[in-house]
Amino acid sequence: MQRRIIFPRSHLSYSSGSEKVVPGLEKIWLATYSGKFETWFMPPLNINSSKTVPAKPAPAVIFGHGNAELIDFCPEELKGFTRMGIGVLLIEYPGYGRSEGSPSQKNISHAFNAGYDYLVSRKDVDPNRIILFGRSVGGGAVCALASNKPSAALILQSTFTSVRSFASSFLAPGFLVRDPFDNLAVVNTYTSPILIIHGKNDDIIPFSHGKALYEKCLKGKLIVYDCSHNDCPPDYVIFWKDIETFLTNIGIIT
């Protein structure tokens, strides 16, 4: 029951062709013990020509989507990164979309670790400028990755402190939660910069979670928008400007 609530994958449908909006997009299949999973790599763009940049080391983002999303939904909205000269790796959760297996913290963590290893092996990616970006439950995926692999920055959008904090919704005590995703513990020990983005009217993951995460950061920045959960961010122009400013200030882009 917990996993049906946290990972409502049976309600999602995907359509082929959504990747066509991204020039040069690559589809890569990787594998863990739980089966093959799908990843898409969006290469950086030359902002002057809207063409893919020649292969040379560039920063890259690993993105973890929300629990009611698929990677098919994400390319268009994440093109803000490619316009900044940053590549994007979309990792599909096990059991979601075309990926094999079933979603759990363990299986998702194995997939994200394998995706990370693939990404840093690419000659066109700078392994010292890896950004981890998670939205909603995707924050749990990238925080788990941040606890195992080095990265230059962490961005958490509309993310919870831990799944255990929602244990009452499962009518269960916290120690029975099977996929705890303890993000609070991760940000408390993460030594690179962290950007926390949260809607002050979030009706799914209350703003108090974003505030608590920020207060535990060693190097944190908090951006609050006047919005809820599913309409965050309310203005993508402002959103991308905020992210660009953050990444510029910490030296990942110039």
**Among candidates 238, 243, 237, which has minimal Cα distance to 59?**
243
Distance CA 113, CA 133 (A): 14
Torsions phi, psi of 184, nearest 5? -60, -40
Instruction: Report angle CA 184, 103, 232 to the nearest 5 degrees.
Output: 55
| Neighbour-count burial of 116, counting CB atoms closer than 10 A to its CB (0-12 exposed, 13-18 middle, 19+ buried) | buried
Sheet holding 125-135, edge to edge: 26-32, 35-42, 87-91, 58-64, 125-135, 153-157, 194-199, 220-225
C-alpha torsion 157→246→128→194, nearest 10: -40
CB atoms within 10 A of CB 192: 17
* Residues with catalytic roles: 136, 202, 229
Tokens of 144: 């788990």
Measured distance between the N- and C-terminal CA atoms of the chain, rounded to whole angstroms: 47
